[in-house]
């Protein structure tokens, strides 16, 4: 389904039979580590290994053309190193093109502060589906499948389920590792709950919102701006039941982290009725950013 939709994209590039799914950029920061040749070599090798792992692993059974690859960014910030052991955080973001425009809409934007891993020079990052190898490959594979699944959800209703289930399998296998970020008892904001929630029936409204927001809202707006905005407004209303079912969820927070600026920009040019309707929704669901949403009422 995703490939059928994307064939209409304006981004026509050369066909590549072996093209993988992600076009992932990686940045490694280590502001607290000593700036010496050894650390520099390790960080450069880590960046190359992560780039290779994310961009050259086959995450789906489909063939992606170059223009269909999912734009993804990883920012890994290392705070401590002890031999081959690293303490870090990872920010993951992804974007998808909007039909007939040069605009890309943010789909995933999450900061994960529980990213401890080991890495050894000249050792490949190994991952085997169905088993836990190490925390580095598990965290990277988890987010790869999460990005793919969330992207597919924007092209077909619950279209990313297959890949979100793969991310959930990784989370379940990693729980026994003792590494932070995987346990249901640690925090309601960790990887376990991100994937557990999005696959829960109580979050169906969020997935319906994602599909209609992008396919029937943003993608339609180029040809029919009025109808596109009306569909956006309708899609955002589905989030109210999700909030009623599970208020304060990490998924709702992440949705608005990704979409807040976009919502403000879109509705700044919308009709007063649409503006007020959406403002009433976001002030209940994302009250911490109420001052930013007030800009769209002016």
pLDDT digit string, tens, across residues 126-160: 999 999 999 999 999 999 999 999 999 999 999 99
Q: What is the pLDDT of residue 298?
A: 81
Q: Measuring CA to CA, which residue among 74, 22, 18 is closest to residue 46?
A: 74
Structure tokens at 276: 């007020």
- Asked if residue 77 and residue 163 are part of one domain, the reply reads yes
Phi, psi of 78 (to 5 degrees): -95, 130
Q: Does residue 188 lie in a domain region?
A: yes
Among the listed residues 213, 262, 205, the one whose alpha carbon sits nearest the alpha carbon of residue 233 = 213
Gap between the Cα atoms of 181 and 13, Å rounded: 38
Do residues 164 and 216 share a domain?
no
pLDDT, residue 7, reads 37
Same domain, 92 and 141: yes
pLDDT under 70 in the chain at which residues? 1-19
Q: Report pLDDT for 122.
A: 87
The answer to whether residues 220 and 165 belong to one domain is no
52-57 long-range contacts, CB within 8 A, separation 24+:
52/125, 53/125, 53/127, 53/137, 53/140, 54/22, 54/24, 54/26, 54/140, 54/144, 55/20, 55/22, 55/23, 55/24, 56/20, 57/20, 57/127, 57/141, 57/144
In a domain? residue 109: yes
Domain count, the chain: 2
Question: Using an 8 Å Cβ cutoff, are 274 and 233 in contact?
Answer: yes
11 in a structural domain = no
* Shared domain check, 82 and 224: no
What is the pLDDT at residue 88?
Answer: 98
Compute the distance between CA of residue 52 and CA of residue 28 in angstroms, rounded to an integer. Answer: 14
Q: Do 228 and 124 belong to one domain?
A: no
Where a domain ends, among 178, 199, 220? 199
Give the pLDDT confidence of 94-107 residue by residue, as tens digits.
999 999 999 999 99
- Are 190 and 211 found together in one domain? no
Residue 31 sits in the same domain as residue 178: yes
* Closest listed residue to residue 210, CA positions, set 247, 165, 157, 281: 157
Q: For residue 65, what are the domain limits?
A: 19-199
In angstroms, rounded to a whole number, what is the distance separating the alpha carbons of residues 253 and 110?
A: 10
Residue 18's CB is within 10 A of a number of other CB atoms, namely 8
One domain for residues 25 and 106? yes
Q: Which residue has the tokens 């209303």?
A: 237
- Looking at the whole model, is its pTM more than 0.75? yes
Give the end of a domain, one of 175, 199, 223: 199
**pLDDT value of residue 2:** 55
184 and 238 assigned to the same domain: no
Of 199, 231, 253, the residue at which a domain comes to its end is 199
Instruction: Tell whether 121 and 230 lie within a shared domain.
Output: no
Are 257 and 122 part of one and the same domain? no
């Amino acid at each position: 389904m995703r490939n059928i939709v994307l064939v209409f994209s304006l981004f026509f590039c050369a066909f590549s039979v072996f093209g993988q799914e992600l076009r992932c950029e990686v940045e490694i920061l280590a502001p607290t580590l000593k700036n010496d040749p050894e650390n520099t070599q390790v960080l450069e090798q880590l960046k190359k290994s992560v780039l290779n792992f994310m961009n050259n692993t086959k995450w789906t059974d489909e063939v992606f053309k170059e223009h269909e690859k999912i734009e993804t960014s990883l920012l890994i910030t290392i705070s401590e190193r002890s031999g081959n052991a690293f303490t870090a955080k990872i920010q993951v973001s992804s974007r998808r093109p909007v039909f007939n425009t040069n605009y890309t809409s943010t789909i995933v934007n999450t900061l994960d502060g529980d990213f401890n891993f080991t890495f050894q020079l000249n050792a490949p990052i190994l991952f085997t589906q169905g088993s836990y190898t190490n925390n580095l490959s598990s965290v990277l594979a988890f987010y790869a499948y999460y990005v793919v699944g969330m992207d597919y959800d924007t092209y077909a209703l619950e279209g990313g389920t297959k890949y979100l289930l793969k991310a959930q399998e990784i989370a379940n296998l990693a729980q026994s590792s003792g590494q932070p970020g995987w346990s249901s008892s640690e925090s309601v904001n960790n990887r376990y709950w991100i994937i557990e929630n999005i696959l829960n029936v109580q979050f169906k409204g969020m997935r319906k919102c994602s599909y209609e927001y992008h396919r029937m809202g943003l993608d339609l707006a180029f040809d029919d701006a009025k109808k596109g905005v009306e569909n956006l407004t309708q899609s955002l209303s589905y989030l109210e039941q999700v909030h009623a079912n599970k208020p304060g969820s990490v998924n709702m927070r992440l949705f608005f982290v990704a979409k807040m600026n976009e919502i403000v920009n879109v509705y700044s040019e919308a009709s007063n009725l649409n503006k007020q309707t959406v403002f009433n929704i976001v002030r209940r669901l994302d009250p911490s950013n109420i001052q930013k949403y007030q800009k769209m009422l002016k």
